[in-house]
Amino acid sequence: MTSVPAGDWLATVRSSFADGYRYFDWLGCVDEIGRSDTFRIVLVLRNLDAPGAAARTLSTQVARGEPRLDSIGSVFAGAGWHEREAAELFGVEFVGGSARRLLLDPGYAGTPLRKDEVLGSRAGSTWPGAKDPGESVPGSAAGVGAAAPSRRRMVPPGVPDAAVWGDRDPDLPAADPSEVADATVGGRVRRRKG
């Protein structure tokens, strides 16, 4: 993977096109929270004129506070869909690209694939990823899909610890995004109140 400075992104993509990498394969975004305060954009290009040649993988990083990057839609029209997806789900702005919604409702406010985005619906509803059949069926008779009495309800992935989000002490300052991200490890035992 070749790392490219964000300011050289479009020029590097154009140079790759001139080098024969004219097949756009994939563009995606990775939230680097916990490692750095950035998003990593990854691009895979292929040279179909050279059978067996390795794909060219380019990556760049954009600042989390102001995630902006030049669009490569002028070089690869198919990249527009991928850029719109990253814009909606991560909040990355692709300068010169389309800002139309692709997947989410026009009224939706949020960036659901950012690691610091709290997925409230997971905290408020029963998690379908139960460990054993019937474990998430509350009120079932023992032996009929009910969890063993010693089982404690597990927290699904993506739900932060209640001490960080949700039941947080109102006298404490707001949680830092990295603190929320660190607290979103699934499989923890849900604490009982009281």
Residues 52, 14 share a domain: yes
Position 44 confidence tier, pLDDT thresholds 50, 70, 90:
very high
Q: Burial code of 95-120, b = ≥16 C-beta within 10 A, e = fewer?
A: eebeeeeeeeeeeeeebebbbbbbee
Say how far apart CA 70 and CA 74 lie, in whole Å: 10
Domain range for 168 is 115-194
Question: Does the reported pTM lie above 0.85?
Answer: no
- Between residues 116 and 25, the one the model is more confident about: 25
Number of domains in the chain: 2
Residues 91, 129 share a domain: no
Q: What are the pLDDT digits (tens) for 139-186? A: 444 444 444 445 556 666 667 777 776 667 778 887 777 777 777 665
Residues 88, 168 share a domain: no
Tell me if 106 is assigned to some domain: no
pLDDT the model gives residue 91: 96
CATH number for the domain spanning 18: value is 3.30.460.80
